[in-house]
């Protein structure tokens, strides 16, 4: 592939990166502005024969004679439907250039200088199915009309040295996505989404130990990724499975770190949030553990311990207001009082013994109920911390099943008055 002088310019650009999803991890693109422009920091190899789900965006789609296959490639229908005609043309020009690994493109209408970083973030975060995209960009005004039309794009040539290499990466990612979706069970929306979610968590580790850790390719193929890789993988799995999905950018538990999570709309018309990164905590010790506190929840709930959700000037983010499909309600462990919590914990403990599991999940409605459940279930007496009702439950489990759990620990999502009102109890047999 021909690499012309614009690429040489890219190599000389100063970086203005900021951390995302970790102390040293960066998921954010950069730009070198035109000289007169001021800018601030932006927030298995076998061929699969699985067909695209009937309700997914069709392949080979066009708009006004323009190829917009990138919409289905990247699951961008939610965004595309909100753009005006001029932005659709600029968006298509940029995305098709990336899809074809072209080093530059002229935008038909151009971007106001003050929108430079917004546009770059917009393009970068939408290039989910194109893992070879780089993080440096050059925008300039080529005709003096105060609009930035010349858009130079960078790529990771270490993983995709040419167009054929880029296509091979995409093909490998898409084949694996098809295989995963093909394994999705027949069942309810909830069961299908949970399968996709759990597959991702069980088969990916939060790590930079990959050639492309900030991408869906890193999460799906290399099985190591940062939050952007987790969220992008979740997005592609959902859209390839036929669900309407979207992503958002914001802040997690640190003001200086960007974070990315997912939205999915179900047949009840409601949007729900999934944060797959926070479902797979680092240092968890058990590869079979999943934190379901962030599975199919609302904006109000996630913003209890996620600092903020960023807006985009080109489209309106989804808004999730319902908790009706969250894990705890769907699995019968969303409780309103101690009696319900006791019954749920007993049922789950028996299931753990019979099925070889060791996690009891509980979520509740308010601070007072949460504190009451935690105190009575785990610690009835300050003088005897093993005197809580959990000990009574585990004794009943031993009597009914013969399985003895000798230790337990609790993970609290709700800390220092922040976070969801739920906790996970880990029960262990001798020697575990």
pLDDT in tens, 310-349: 999 999 999 999 999 999 999 999 999 999 999 999 999 9
Kindly report the CATH number assigned to the domain that includes residue 304.
3.10.620
At residue 7 the predicted structure's pLDDT band, cuts being 50, 70 and 90, is very low
Residue 23 clears pLDDT 90, i.e. is over it:
no
Residue 386 clears pLDDT 90, i.e. is over it:
no
Is 277 inside any structural domain? yes
Is 98 inside any structural domain? yes
**What pLDDT sits at residue 60?**
60
Is 175 inside any structural domain? no
Render 305-333 in DSSP notation, one character per residue: TS-EE---SSSPPP-----TTSHHHHTT-
Residue 58 clears pLDDT 50, i.e. is over it:
no
Is 179 inside any structural domain? no
Is 161 inside any structural domain? no
pLDDT tens readout for residues 169-187: 999 999 999 999 999 999 9
Output the average pLDDT for the chain. Answer: 85
Verify that 198 and 293 share a domain, yes or no. Answer: yes
Verify that 12 and 80 share a domain, yes or no. Answer: yes
- Angle at which helix 389-401 crosses helix 367-378, to 10 degrees, equals 60
The CA distance from 346 to 349, in Å, is 5
Verify that 340 and 324 share a domain, yes or no. Answer: no
Is 101 inside any structural domain? yes
Domain, as residue range, for 62: 5-155
Q: In the sheet where 359-363 sits, what is the strand order?
A: 359-363, 422-428, 407-412
pTM: 0.86
- Residues 6 or more apart whose CB falls under 8 angstroms from that of 257 comprise 19, 20, 21, 22, 23, 251
At residue 275 the predicted structure's pLDDT band, cuts being 50, 70 and 90, is very high
Kindly report the CATH number assigned to the domain that includes residue 378.
3.30.1370
Verify that 313 and 351 share a domain, yes or no. Answer: no
Verify that 390 and 312 share a domain, yes or no. Answer: no
pLDDT tens readout for residues 220-246: 999 999 999 999 999 999 999 999 999
CA angle, residues 408, 414, 415, in degrees to nearest 5: 95
At residue 380 the predicted structure's pLDDT band, cuts being 50, 70 and 90, is low
At residue 288 the predicted structure's pLDDT band, cuts being 50, 70 and 90, is confident
Give the residue from 302, 329, 356 where a domain finishes. Answer: 329
- Angle at which helix 85-99 crosses helix 116-126, to 10 degrees, equals 50
**What pLDDT sits at residue 417?**
76
The CA distance from 79 to 83, in Å, is 7
The CA distance from 229 to 212, in Å, is 8
Is 289 inside any structural domain? yes
Verify that 11 and 146 share a domain, yes or no. Answer: yes
Share of the chain above pLDDT 90, in %: 74
Residue 258 clears pLDDT 60, i.e. is over it:
yes
At residue 52 the predicted structure's pLDDT band, cuts being 50, 70 and 90, is very low
**What pLDDT sits at residue 287?**
79
Verify that 204 and 320 share a domain, yes or no. Answer: yes
The CA distance from 83 to 403, in Å, is 59
Residue 351 clears pLDDT 60, i.e. is over it:
yes
Verify that 286 and 387 share a domain, yes or no. Answer: no
Residue 385 clears pLDDT 80, i.e. is over it:
no
Q: How many CB atoms lie within 10 A of CB 96?
A: 16
Give the residue from 155, 172, 204 where a domain finishes. Answer: 155
Give the residue from 112, 138, 155 where a domain finishes. Answer: 155
**What pLDDT sits at residue 136?**
87
Verify that 247 and 389 share a domain, yes or no. Answer: no
Verify that 210 and 99 share a domain, yes or no. Answer: no
Query: Which of the residue ranges 71-80, 255-264, 387-396 would you say has the lowest mean pLDDT?
Result: 387-396
**What pLDDT sits at residue 130?**
97
Contact 217, 295 (CB under 8 A): no
The number of distinct structural domains making up the chain is 3
Verify that 146 and 103 share a domain, yes or no. Answer: yes
Verify that 215 and 138 share a domain, yes or no. Answer: no
Is 299 inside any structural domain? yes
Residue 416 clears pLDDT 50, i.e. is over it:
yes
């Amino acid at each position: 592939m021909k690499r012309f002088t614009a690429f040489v310019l890219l190599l000389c650009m100063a970086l203005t990166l900021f951390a995302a999803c970790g102390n040293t991890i960066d998921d954010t693109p950069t730009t070198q502005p035109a000289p007169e422009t001021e800018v601030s920091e932006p927030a298995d190899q076998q061929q699969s024969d699985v067909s695209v789900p009937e309700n997914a965006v069709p392949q080979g789609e066009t708009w006004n004679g323009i190829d917009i296959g990138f919409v289905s490639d990247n699951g961008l229908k939610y965004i595309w439907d909100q753009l005006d005609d001029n932005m659709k043309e600029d968006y298509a020009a940029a995305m098709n250039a990336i899809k074809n690994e072209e080093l530059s493109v002229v935008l038909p209408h151009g971007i106001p200088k003050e929108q430079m970083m917004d546009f770059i973030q917009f393009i970068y975060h939408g290039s989910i199915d194109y893992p070879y995209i780089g993080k440096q960009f050059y925008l300039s005004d080529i005709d003096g009309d105060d609009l930035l039309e010349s858009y130079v794009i960078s790529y990771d040539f270490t993983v995709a040295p040419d167009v054929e290499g880029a296509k091979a990466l995409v093909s490998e990612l898409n084949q694996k996505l098809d295989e995963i979706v093909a394994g999705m069970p027949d069942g309810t929306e909830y069961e299908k989404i949970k399968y996709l979610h759990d597959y991702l968590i069980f088969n990916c580790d939060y790590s930079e130990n990959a050639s492309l850790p900030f991408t869906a390719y890193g999460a799906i193929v290399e099985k190591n990724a940062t939050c952007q890789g987790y969220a992008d993988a979740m997005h592609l799995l959902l859209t390839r499975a036929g669900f309407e999905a979207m992503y958002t950018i914001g802040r997690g538990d640190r003001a200086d770190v960007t974070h990315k999570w997912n939205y999915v709309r179900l047949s009840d018309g409601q949007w729900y949030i999934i944060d797959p990164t926070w479902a797979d905590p680092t240092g968890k010790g058990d590869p079979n553990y999943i934190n379901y506190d962030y599975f199919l929840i609302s904006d109000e709930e996630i913003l209890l311990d996620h600092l903020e959700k960023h807006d985009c000037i080109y489209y309106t983010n989804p808004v999730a207001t319902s908790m009706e499909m969250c894990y705890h309600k769907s699995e019968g462990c969303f409780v309103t009082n101690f009696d319900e919590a006791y019954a749920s914990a007993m049922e789950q403990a028996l299931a753990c013994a019979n099925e070889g599991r060791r996690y009891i999940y509980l979520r509740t409605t308010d601070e007072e109920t949460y504190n009451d459940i935690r105190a009575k279930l785990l610690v009835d007496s300050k003088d005897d911390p093993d005197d809580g009702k959990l000990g009574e439950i585990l004794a009943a489990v031993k009597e009914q099943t013969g399985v003895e759990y000798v230790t337990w620990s609790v993970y609290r999502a709700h800390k220092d008055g922040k976070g969801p009102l739920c906790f996970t109890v880990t029960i262990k047999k001798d020697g575990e």
